[in-house]
Amino acid sequence: MKLIVKKEASLLDYLYENLDMPKKRIKQYLTHGSIFINNNKILKYDYKLYPGMTIIIDTNVKNKKTLPFDVIYEDDHIIVVNKPSGLLTIATNKEKEKTLYHIVREYLKATNPYQKIFIIHRLDKDTSGLIMFAKDEKTKNLFQKNWNEYVTLREYVAVVHGVLKDKVGKIEQNLLETKTNLTYVSKNKEGKKAITNYKVLKENKDYSLLDISLETGRKNQIRVAFSSIKHYLVGDKKYGLKDNKERLYLHANRLKIYHPYLKKEILFETAIPNEFKVIMKGR
């Protein structure tokens, strides 16, 4: 099924208006990676459409035995996937099914109806990249109990506004959280310590591409760190500028773990998202 966009709109609204199809079915096609815009797989309901864009709905792809994103690694105990931006890790009061947890669980249950999965760690809804789930409760408990020993590397790539004076740096802060769940920097050393290391990989007159590694894992740590030094993450609608970008330019691209059953370290890696490369070319 193919459509040429005639007017500016959000994706879900446009499809509902122009297709003789229930909104629930359109959401299912989005969730299972069946909708492509200009040949790019799109999962976001509110993806911005402009006249001239091409929408293709592949009705054969809606199959729980496939995923709308990459499986980086899988064995009897863990599964590591590449989460897209705009997808919740776990359910909230407002959203139960359009979550990474639900999609991965249904994918595994298509092969084994009794398979369970367990949350080990999370990424923000707007952050893309590597997430690991456990396939049994014992594995989940092992990783959560020994997180600092078992997870030896967590690296991200990000694009921020502006050119950083220091090309290599460390941002050390204490973070607190408001009643409305916003994280902010404490001025009197209260709160949880957060340490964020960075290195500039590439820059142009408007943006800098950064390699970021964490010594701590606090809520919204990277976003708050760079907001506090006025180099806001591109596309950050919560702590950043109104720059009209469709996604947050933050991606968890490297994760190294000690595998407690294989008794060895494993490094998982993903490529830098194409959007990051495009913006750094100034296009």
Number of domains into which the chain is organized: 2
Are residues 34 and 113 part of one domain?
A: no
* Residue in this structure with the two tokens 């409760």, named with its chain if needed: 137
Please give the pLDDT value at position 283.
Answer: 47
pLDDT at 119 over 70: yes
Residue 63 lies in a domain: no
pLDDT tens digits, one per residue of 203-254? 999 999 999 999 988 889 999 999 999 999 999 999 998 898 889 999 999 9
Average pLDDT on 84-88 reads 90
DSSP 8-state secondary structure symbol assigned to residue 125 = T
Identify which of 246, 161, 174, 257 has the alpha carbon closest to the alpha carbon of residue 210.
161
Q: Does residue 64 belong to any structural domain of this protein?
A: no
pTM of the model: 0.77
Predicted pLDDT at 39: 76
Q: Which residues of 184-220 are buried (b: 16+ CB within 10 A; e: fewer)?
A: beeeeeebbebebbbebbebeeebbbbbbebeeebeb
The reply to whether 30 and 160 lie within a common domain is no
Query: Which CATH number do you get for residue 35?
Result: 3.10.290.10
> Are 6 and 127 contained in the same domain?
no
Q: Note whether 210 and 160 are same-domain residues.
A: yes
pLDDT digits (tens, 9 = 90+) for 135-181: 999 999 999 999 999 999 999 999 999 999 999 999 999 998 898 88
Question: For residue 142, is it within any domain?
Answer: yes
pLDDT (mean) for 35-46: 84
Cα angle vertex 232, ends 225, 169, to 5°? 45
- Low-confidence winner among 75-89, 90-104, 199-213, 220-234 (lowest mean pLDDT): 90-104
Domain housing 177: 71-280
Band (pLDDT 50/70/90 cuts) for residue 26 is: confident
172 and 46, same structural domain? no
Same domain, 85 and 205: yes
Q: Which residues are identified as catalytic?
A: 124
Please state, in angstroms and rounded to a whole number, the distance separating the CA atoms of residues 256 and 246.
29
Same domain, 51 and 166: no
Neighbours of 165 (CB within 10 A): 8
Together in a domain, 8 and 132: no
Q: Within the chain, what is the greatest distance between any pair of CA atoms?
A: 58
Same domain for 128 and 79, yes or no, is yes
State which amino acid sits at residue 57: I
Residue 187: the pLDDT is: 85
Same domain, 22 and 100: no
Give me the chain's average pLDDT, please.
Answer: 90
